[in-house]
Amino acid sequence: MTTFLGLPAANPDALLPGSADIAVLGVPHGVAYPDPGLTAGCADAPAAVRRRSARLAGFLDHHDFDLDGPMLPHGSALRMIDLGDVPGSPDDGTGNQARASAAVRSVLGAGAVPIVLGGDDSVPIPVLRAYEGHGPLWVVQVDAHLDFRDEVDGVADGYSSTMRRASELPHVEGIVQVGLRGVGSARERDVADARAAGNRLVTARELRRRGVAWAADELPADASVFISFDCDALDPAVMPAVSGLSPGGLGYDEAADLLAALAARGRVAGASFTELVPELDVNERSTLVVVRLAMRLIAAMARR
């Protein structure tokens, strides 16, 4: 199996406490809508990200000019593994969720931090449910869209409902939604509901005006943070291979700096990267952005 950055492969069912600090986990399938459209292609993303990362695997100890040093600083004892993909299928939403939650619970039970490669943006729902007993947790959603619909076409756990479902979890203490812009599935009532739930809504324009340090300071100091990163948060010039293109998104440096600021502000308890559509990717440039953002997040965690 091709692993992320050439990391050692492991079985999530065989994880022992203390055996790893970070575990990469692919979750290709969540809960699909009756007509998934381009998001069906998101299931190919975990494999695409791993393949593209393989070309950087031999450079992990080289000087990274974005970090002024290698990804892992000299002397770092951070241990990383790749657990492969959670089995699933497009037409088994209930089973997909159960298997994803079970895999993440295994990671958390072993004391490791899961870095999840999706899949569409319904994937964070079962991932966050697995944190029951591991809270309190703050969620930072980096996304162009609010994802606060109660249901769409009778589906309550689809990618347009991610943050509403997260807000209902007793172990989620608060939610900060960063990068909002344009128009999507949210109605005015959904926006009002998100604000009434206590969510902090930060538009892409506001982030540019106030800066990533300000956005990170919306979290309590030393909070446990789960980062839900939807690739359409990025501007199409940076990340064109998504199903929900919208101009005016975050730049690469803004996104990478935000991840670093969040890791410095709190303790990263987990992260997911979702909504990459490899079939739309020209020269793998969008896939490379996901690889680099994951690397930058790991580097920030190592430096903390």
Q: Which two tokens stand for residue 12?
A: 């999530």
Q: Which helix (H) or strand (E) holds 236?
A: none
For the chain, residues with pLDDT lower than 50 are none
**pLDDT attached to residue 300:** 97
The pLDDT of residue 241 is 98
The alpha-helical segments, DSSP class H, found in 54-171 are 93-109, 124-129, 162-167
- What's the pTM value of the predicted model, to 2 decimals? 0.97
Place of tokens 């990362």: 53
Structure tokens of 241?
A: 């291979």
Range of the domain at 58: 4-303
How high is the pLDDT of residue 14? 83
Rounded to whole angstroms, how far apart are CA atoms 234 and 148?
19
Q: Which CATH number covers residue 148?
A: 3.40.800.10
Q: Could you give the CA distance from residue 98 to residue 130 in angstroms, rounded to a whole number?
A: 9
How far CA 286 is from CA of 93, 127, 241, in Å, comes to 27, 24, 6
When divided into structural domains, the chain yields a total of 1
> In the β-sheet with 172-180, what is the strand arrangement from edge to edge?
80-85, 22-27, 113-118, 267-274, 224-230, 137-142, 172-180, 200-203
Tell me the three state secondary structure of residue 226. Answer: strand
What residue has token string 């998504």?
242
Strands 172-180 and 80-85: unpaired
Residue type, 105: R
Looking at 30-74, list the stretches that DSSP marks H as alpha helix, in order from N- to C-terminal side. 45-53
CB-based contact 171:133 (threshold 8 Å): yes
